[in-house]
Each structure stands twice: as structure tokens, then as C-alpha cells.
Amino acid sequence: MSRLALQVVDLCFGDSGKGTMVDFLVRRHAATLVVRFNGGPQAGHNVVLPDGRHHTFAQFGAGTFSPGVRTLLSRFTLIEPYALFNEADHLSALGVHDALSRLFIDERCLVITPPQQIANRLRERARAAAAHGTCGLGVGECVEDALTRSDLALRAGDLRSPAIVRRKLADMMAYKRATLADLRSVATNEEQRVLDDPAWIDVALEACSELAERTNILTPENASALLRDSPISVFEGAQGVLLDEYAGFHPHTTWSETTFSNADTLLDECGADAQRWRIGVMRTYMTRHGAGPFATEDASLNDADLPEPHNSDDGWQSAFRRGTLDLVMLRYALAVCGGVDALAVTHLDRLARLPGHACNAYDVDGTVHAELSADNAGARVIDESRTDLLRRAKPQFTPWPTDSDDAFVARLECELKTPAAYRSYGPTFESKRLADTPLSGHG
């Protein structure tokens, strides 16, 4: 049997159902490895089992409920030890007792420290009404520090040496205390304490040492071998294409490349001879959790009609927002990704609650845009002109079928010129349907 690499990304602003699709794909194709190829502990990939058990996957792959399936945290991901242990404890309470032993971490992964989390929160709090939108877990702060102060960056490989961990934690504490002086007025008492009192370092050191002992930290060569030798792997993207570090709508973006680029890089680097199958996940309507322009936002699509049992308005991200299906955004996301082999359309069980129209174009100052240019999206530069355009966009609607899932999907395939091979009618793997595809007999 030939090797297979299923690559999953979210074509929207996140929260489209990547976790439930990864769980389904792992089971459908008997995958043995889930590869996280971007982001970190800010991911929230919900998986619900038919017996009602639910877990929000953040640092473990969303296929972990399947016995024996491993997770590889590639060099493009970040880890946060406290959150990782909390997640492992929750999985254990649900009957998955070996999640940590099935976790493999590339030694080049960045490790987020408490002072970096505090810096992230102070900066966002100080922005007030101009907030960028953050999960408050320090991901962007950690990435920026690695670029500007690489000597301070704590990486997974360092966790093998308590002396290195202690030194880097102390140095990061001193660095953040100095650079955050102007923001101390918005810090809580606990945040002030972490910046001033090194007592927390001993506790953090214990967590880092335990992580090194209970998981599998790999050299780059061994990480590549694990990936190269996996017969069937599922690459689990985090966040959404519309939040991409470069192709997204800055500054309301993530410090991560959310397209297929990292997944392809990992496969190229390890020399994996695998068929690559690209899957773009999307809802039947648009959502956005937190700040940022949202052209088709519709306040009438509320929690009463479209409930979110696993997404709340609390926390750092604030409001969970809903909007009409936006073909302009989806076309842009597909262009940024270089296209997908198949769409995975989720929330098809909610068609009856949706308006009978979709956005097929924007009116921006009298000019109609059916598509947004993706010319600079891959240039690895920050371009805020797209953000300005989206803020000024007025959606132009076209009638859309919501009385039939077949009609909805057929129209979507026509408009996006992409087959919808996967349909989801609920949160469990049993609620998924697979159309005829070149992979139908694989697995």
C-alpha cells in the first residue's frame, strides 16, 4: 500500500471543525500519526465521541482518542508545559491514559514561558479598543523573542538540561521585566509577582523536567524518520487560512503560517514518498472568534439558533461572531493555499437555520470585487491594504439553497470549482459522509 499524507487546513477564520475531521480521517484511513505543523497551545480542536465524551485538543493531535495513534509536534509548533499536562490529565479522565507516551516533540519546538504569556496579555490589554485578538497564551510573544533574542529562546531540546532551563527562565524574566516597564500599570498582582519574584522558576523547572521524562523529545533526524516511515499520516493545521501570518488580515492574524506550506516543507525535508491529499475545512456559514473585520457578520445569527457549546464569549478572544456564507473569502483562501483536492463542509445539519443567500461579491467604494487579489499573499510580507479593503467591504448577496444539503453542496462546488468530498452533519465521526474520491478505497 502506498504511503498517504492527508493535509487538513481551515479555509476560514478558524473554528470550522478541523478537530472532528481529523478524528474522522484517522479512523477512516487507519492513520498511525497526526502531525501538528503550525501554532501551539492556542489551538482548540473539539472532538466529541458517540458516547458523549468531549475533549478540546490543543497540543495533542485530534486523533488521540484512537488507540496507538501518535502525535508529532513538528518544529513549526510551540509548546506550553502547564497547559500540556492539564490537557493530558483531562484525556486521562476520559480514559486515554497514555497520551504523553504517544507524544513526540521535535527538539527545535519553542517552549512558551510564563513571562512571555504575561507580556502577551499586557500588550493586548493596553490596546483596549484596538485589540488585535489573542488567546493570551504567549504564542506571538514567544515567536517574536525567538527572532529578536534567539539567545533567550527556550526550546524542547533544552528541557533535557535543568541548568539550561533555569538560566533561560531567569534571563527571560529579567528581559520582560525591563521591556514591560511602561505596561506595568495594566498588570494584575499575580502578573507583577511573576515579573518580580523568581520563586515560580522552581515550579516551572519541575514541569519542564517532567515533560522531558514523560514524552519523547526527538532530534531533527529522528523526527524526520518518524514522519518518513509513517504509512498514513494526518497533518492537522491550526487556526485558519484567513488568520495566516502573511496572507491574513493584519494585525488580526496569528504568528503562524496556516496554509499547507509547513506541511509540504516537512514532507519535502524528510523525503517522504507519500501521496499528498489536501483538504480544506469550512462551515456552511462564517464565524470569527474575536476582533477583526468580518464583512458578512450577521447579528441575527445568534447563539439561540446556532449554539456553540464549545466556543464562548468569555476569555481573551471575547465574542464568538457569526455571519453569512462568504464566497469572496473562500475564493481568496483557496487561492492563497494553491487550491485543495477536496472540501470538507461541516455544520450541514444547520441549513434550516441559515438565511437563503450568500455573499458572492463585495462593493468597496462603488467597485465590485468578486475576488480579492492573492498576488502578495505568499510574499512573506505584512500587507494591511487587504485589511482596509475588508473593513470597507459591503457584501453583495445572491440567493442560495438551504432547503437541501445536496443542493447546497452542489452550488458550493460550482462556485468554488472544487469537489466537496466530505460532509459533516454533527460533531462525531459517525456523522461524517465521504463522497467518491480517488481515496475512497484507501483505508
Q: Higher model confidence: residue 128 or residue 350?
A: 350
Number of H helices, E strands in the chain: 12, 19
Q: List, in sequence order, the alpha helices (H) in 271-402.
A: 327-337, 385-392
**283-311: string of b/e by CB count within 10 Å (b at 16+)?**
bbbbbbbbbbbbbbbbeebeeeebeeebb
CATH numbers and ranges of domains, the chain:
3-104+219-434 (3.40.440.10), 110-215 (1.10.300.10)
Question: Taking all residues of the chain, what is their mean pLDDT, rounded to a whole number?
Answer: 92
Residue 378 confidence (pLDDT): 65
Lowest mean pLDDT among 9-23, 44-58, 132-146: 132-146
Residue 256 confidence (pLDDT): 87
- Stated as kind and residue range, the H or E segment containing 45 is strand 45-48
**195-208: string of b/e by CB count within 10 Å (b at 16+)?**
beeeebbeebbebb
Cβ atoms of residues 240 and 14 within 8 Å: yes
Does the pLDDT value for residue 31 go beyond 90?
Answer: yes
Say which residues have a Cβ less than 8 Å from residue 382's Cβ, sequence separation at least 6: 246, 250
Q: Higher model confidence: residue 120 or residue 313?
A: 120
The string of pLDDT tens digits covering residues 306-343 is 998 887 666 656 789 999 999 999 999 999 999 999 99
The string of pLDDT tens digits covering residues 231-275 is 999 999 999 999 999 999 888 888 789 999 999 999 999 999 999
Residue 1 confidence (pLDDT): 45
What share of the chain in percent tops pLDDT 70?
A: 94
Rounded distance, CA 55 to CA 50, Å?
A: 12
Lowest mean pLDDT among 27-41, 197-211, 313-327: 313-327
Q: Higher model confidence: residue 379 or residue 87?
A: 87
Cis peptide before 401 (omega within 30 of 0): no
The string of pLDDT tens digits covering residues 360-396 is 999 999 999 998 888 766 667 777 888 999 999 999 9
266 HSE (CA, 13 A, CB side): 34
What share of the chain in percent tops pLDDT 90?
A: 78
Rounded distance, CA 307 to CA 323, Å?
A: 13
